[in-house]
């Protein structure tokens, strides 16, 4: 029987599953990394562990120190768990627009939660800038800086990409996911292309983000809006610099919710909207690559983190999103 040497060793090495509905819809083989299987139930656990261990290796944090981060929630949850296992405290700055479940989880994990109004990155009150200032003012503290700390994408170059390559037996035609910090798509893209430069790396961008136009037309320009949490970017972060993105798709919330609902109803997977957007992008990429192609994407986190939003009839109606049949009477 194989056992993990420490609780932190439980991060990564997540299962890869073939998705039946998306595969049939695209005429290809679509696989997904089940990142909800991480201890913090999201892909962000990988970046959290890498960032903290990098800070330790560089002597930026000492015993009893504090890790400060601005996050939409999942990275904060990952950091809180890693910090608890290593004896650190966490201060998490999060936009007040994020789901109640994320806020409750962070408090339950012992993190100090600072909620701030949503603001554009150009505004000094943006949650990232506020987290940096708190880190500067707190003794023995380190700012995780997930957007521009390339320890984030290293976790995916050395971890996620290598796992995918092994699990796919080196037979992979394409990979796609959305970008928040850019660490996952850049890291997995760089890692896979190191094995085979022919692997197509595609961005699945939600409406309201600027990267689709950047990679398609060379201009950071956003159009529309999205309610998806944790994805969508308006600038080229350090993690995105040099990302080997070959093509791009723009995915609406409605298309993402279509797959969230189908995967729950048909395959027993309860997922968040970012996962639905990734799966919609994987279907689009598979159709582009042709019948029989093998495409991988990321199931970012669990839908149990969005019970008050994506799985709430009134919230969906208020956002103008389709209401699944099983929620109609709720």
- Catalytic site positions: 44
CA atoms within 13 Å, Cβ hemisphere of 307: 8
Classify 105 in phi/psi space as left (phi over 0), alpha (psi -120 to 50) or beta.
alpha
Which of 80, 59, 78, 241 lies closest to 148, judged by CA? 241
Give exposure, 113-135, as e/b (b: 16+ Cβ within 10 Å).
bbebeeeeeeeeebbbbbbbebb
Which of 131, 138, 126, 119 lies closest to 61, judged by CA? 138
Go through the chain and tell me how many residues it has: 330
Q: How far apart, in whole angstroms, are the C-alpha atoms of residue 305 and residue 329?
A: 22
């Amino acid at each position: 029987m194989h056992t993990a040497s420490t609780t932190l060793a439980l991060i990564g090495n997540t299962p890869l599953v073939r998705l039946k509905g998306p595969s049939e819809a695209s005429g290809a083989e679509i696989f997904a990394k089940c990142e909800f299987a991480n201890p913090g139930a999201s892909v962000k656990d990988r970046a959290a562990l890498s960032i903290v261990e990098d800070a330790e290796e560089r002597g930026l944090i000492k015993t009893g120190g504090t890790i400060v981060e601005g996050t939409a929630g999942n990275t904060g949850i990952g950091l809180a768990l890693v910090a608890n296992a290593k004896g650190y405290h966490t201060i998490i700055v999060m936009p007040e627009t994020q789901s109640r479940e994320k806020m409750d989880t962070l408090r339950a994990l012992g993190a100090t939660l600072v909620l701030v109004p949503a603001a554009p990155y150009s505004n000094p009150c943006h949650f990232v800038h506020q987290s940096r200032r708190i880190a500067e003012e707190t003794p023995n503290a380190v700012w995780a800086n997930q957007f521009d700390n390339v320890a984030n994408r290293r976790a995916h170059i050395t971890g996620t990409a290598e796992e995918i390559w092994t699990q796919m037996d080196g037979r992979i035609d394409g990979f796609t996911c959305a970008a928040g910090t850019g660490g996952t798509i850049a890291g997995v893209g760089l890692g896979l292309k190191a094995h085979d430069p022919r692997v197509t790396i595609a961005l699945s961008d939600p409406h309201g983000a600027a990267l689709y136009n950047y990679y398609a037309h060379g201009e950071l320009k956003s159009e529309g809006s999205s309610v998806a949490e944790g994805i969508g970017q308006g600038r080229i972060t350090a993690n995105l610099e040099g990302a080997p993105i070959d093509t791009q798709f723009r995915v609406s919330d409605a298309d993402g919710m279509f797959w969230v609902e189908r995967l729950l109803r048909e395959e027993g997977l309860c997922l968040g909207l970012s996962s639905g957007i990734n799966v919609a992008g994987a279907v689009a990429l598979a159709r582009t690559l042709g019948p029989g192609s093998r495409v991988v994407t990321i199931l970012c986190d669990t839908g149990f983190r969005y019970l008050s939003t994506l799985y709430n009839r009134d919230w969906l109606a208020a956002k103008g999103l389709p209401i699944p049949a099983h929620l109609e009477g709720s």
